[in-house]
Amino acid sequence: MSEETKYTEDNIRSLDWKEHIRMRPGMYIGKLGDGSSADDGIYILVKEVLDNSIDEFVMGGGKTIEISIQGDKVIVRDYGRGIPLGKVVDVVSKMNTGGKYDSKAFKKSVGLNGVGTKAVNALSSFFRVESTRDGKSASAEFEKGNLTNQDILDETSRRRGTKVSFVPDNTIFKNYKYRTEYVAKMLKNYVYLNPGLTIIFNGEKYFSENGLKDLLSDTINEEDRLYDIIHLKGEDIEVAITHSKTQYSEEYHSFVNGQHTTQGGTHLAAFREAVVKTIREYYGKNYEASDIRKSIVSAISIKVMEPVFESQTKTKLGSTEMGEKLPTVRTYINDFLKTKLDNFLHKNPQTAENLQRKILQAERERKDLSGIRKLAKDRAKKASLHNKKLRDCRVHLTDSKNERNLESTLFITEGDSASGSITKSRDVNTQAVFSLRGKPLNCYNMSKKIVYENEEFNLLQAALNIEESLEDLRYNNIVIATDADVDGMHIRLLLITFFLQFFPEVIKEGHLYILQTPLFRVRNKKETIYCYSEQERRNAITKLTGKPEITRFKGLGEISPDEFVHFIGDNIRLDPVMLDKERSIEDLLSFYMGKNTPDRQEFIIDNLKVELDTIEEEI
């Protein structure tokens, strides 16, 4: 038996604020990531700084926020009241220090715990804060949370406000890169929630006049709306509702005190319940909840006194009360919709008629599919029991609530050899593997019936748990892992078509990715370099001395589990699948997956010429 581990006073250690944040960054900003996912840490850092500027706008301090991201440096400048000059250092470096504890000053602010900018400071290799007010200015600079310089100017002509600059620490955020698409989406949400606010990002202006109505207008094209957007506002609540003509599942955008609650919470559950209850009472019919909510596209924003979130990153609301001596969140939302939505339907009979027609259509489809759905669910359960297709991860196997974990990832692979390699090299705590058999069906222009009849699609839908709503999605990241050859590219396209056709919100909300795997391995006796392109291969040959060995990987199955761990661990490279808001999903699918073969052929030839020209320039 081994000697008992000693436990003395020497084992007790106290960490200061910055050491604790740097040692346990996930407690403060969620997952780290490299910027390929919208909820990666580098975007949370931007959000934490922005939240303070937004709170200034809410309190009437400045209507414009300027943001610049050039390379790895972020600059956020607001024209609010400015941090009190004597507290500039304290508010960014002393825990539990801030102006939001005074509920009179920040009644319903985004954050209340005084941690946000401290986390940004501690996790940045460079951090500078500058405040201007009353014709004076004070600034402070930090490195990894350590104060390196501070200055006070007795006179300045600069406009009042606060300017924060920072560079995320690359020893914590490995190989990161800011994607402007994710930042732009975050900023759009801020202006939707704060009409009258102007945000200028790298010279581009973001502004909203109509709040959540503008959000839905940008989310769903006018031709795909069953009826004009219903836009309702109250003192502490705003909702926007429509139904899609083509989408199958439910899509929600929920917010609390300006925070995008991507995983919903008590307010979203109450909203979904209240919509059903109000519509049932309006029509006097006990319609199925799933028929009422099928194809709904909506947004809800509420303001709560001192909200309680289920994590520091505030992705899910846990509060059940609107505030002290106020009704519950559920009661408040239900009473609001019961009055406002009911009144709207009475005043707009055409909208009410269109909505009822949609509900009845959903009811017919559900009944037509009832037998197929029961058989499909039974098949999915049997497949799960025998573990034929899905090798799950421990965060789900041990979580009785089956809630989504930000780190959870599902790899969709082709063939047994590739899935075997990934299964053996994955992180069993957070990474799951779903193995495809052969090429998926081209499901463009097919009805939802095909999802239940096709074994691959049915089991994939069951594994993801997205039949009804994205709120129930089990994996935060869905990664298509196919070979980098023609067949692999085709499988990618067919899978993307599946999601666009039946579950577009998976892509809209940034959950779908393509796994980048190396094309070449270049090595000598001392070093091995994995290369993802011809240019990287040439650079590796130049770098390695002697005559290095070069291996061309033909498929994922050729990569051993010992090597695969490098590509799905800390050094994973993911390309997010993103939608161009300027083109409708129907247009995309009809062009790329329809029967217009000559047009597609011409498109491929034209783009191949561009690619070849680019390669020639590099050579």
Q: What is the CATH number of the domain that holds 502?
A: 3.40.50.670
Residue 400, pLDDT score: 45
351-374 per-position pLDDT tens digit: 999 999 999 999 998 888 888 877
Q: Where a domain ends, among 207, 229, 245?
A: 207
pLDDT at 529 over 70: yes
Tell whether 308 and 197 lie within a shared domain.
no
Extract the tokens encoding 310. Answer: 């289920």
The reply to whether 88 falls in a domain is yes
The reply to whether 84 falls in a domain is yes
Extract the tokens encoding 472. Answer: 């129930």
DSSP state of 101: T
Whether the Cβ atoms of residue 155 and residue 164 lie closer than 8 Å to each other = no
Q: Where a domain ends, among 147, 174, 207?
A: 207
Tell whether 447 and 573 lie within a shared domain.
yes
* Residue 609 CB burial class (10 angstroms; 0-12, 13-18, ≥19): exposed
Q: Read off the amino acid at residue 379.
A: R
The reply to whether 337 falls in a domain is yes
Residue 619, pLDDT score: 42
Q: Which residue has the tokens 């590509």?
A: 567
Extract the tokens encoding 250. Answer: 């439910």
Tell whether 396 and 440 lie within a shared domain.
yes
* Residue 600 CB burial class (10 angstroms; 0-12, 13-18, ≥19): middle
Tell whether 504 and 526 lie within a shared domain.
no
pLDDT at 590 over 50: yes
27-54 per-position pLDDT tens digit: 888 888 889 888 899 999 999 999 889 9
Question: Could you count the other beta carbons within 10 Å of the beta carbon of residue 45?
Answer: 25
Q: What percent of the chain has pLDDT over 90?
A: 41
Tell whether 197 and 281 lie within a shared domain.
no
Residue 55, pLDDT score: 86
What average pLDDT does this structure show over 113-138?
88
Residue 7, pLDDT score: 47
DSSP state of 176: -
Tell whether 492 and 535 lie within a shared domain.
no
- CA–CA separation, 468 vs 272, rounded Å? 12
Residue 446, pLDDT score: 85
184-197 per-position pLDDT tens digit: 999 999 999 999 99
Question: Could you count the other beta carbons within 10 Å of the beta carbon of residue 606?
Answer: 9
Question: Could you count the other beta carbons within 10 Å of the beta carbon of residue 611?
Answer: 9
Helix, strand, or coil (residue 144):
coil
Total tally of structural domains belonging to the chain: 4
Tell whether 499 and 524 lie within a shared domain.
no
Tell whether 237 and 349 lie within a shared domain.
yes
pLDDT band at 105 (very low <50, low <70, confident <90, very high): very low
pLDDT at 316 over 90: no
The CATH number linked to 137 is 3.30.565.10
Print the domain residue range for 297: 212-366
Helix, strand, or coil (residue 598):
helix
Tell whether 220 and 184 lie within a shared domain.
no
Q: What does pLDDT average to over the chain?
A: 85
The reply to whether 589 falls in a domain is no
Secondary structure in 3-state letters for 392-448: CCHHHHCCCCCCCEEEEEEEEEECHHHHHHHHHHCCCCCEEEEEECCCCCCCCCCCC
Tell whether 402 and 464 lie within a shared domain.
yes
Residue 155, pLDDT score: 79
Tell whether 345 and 438 lie within a shared domain.
no
What average pLDDT does this structure show over 227-251?
92
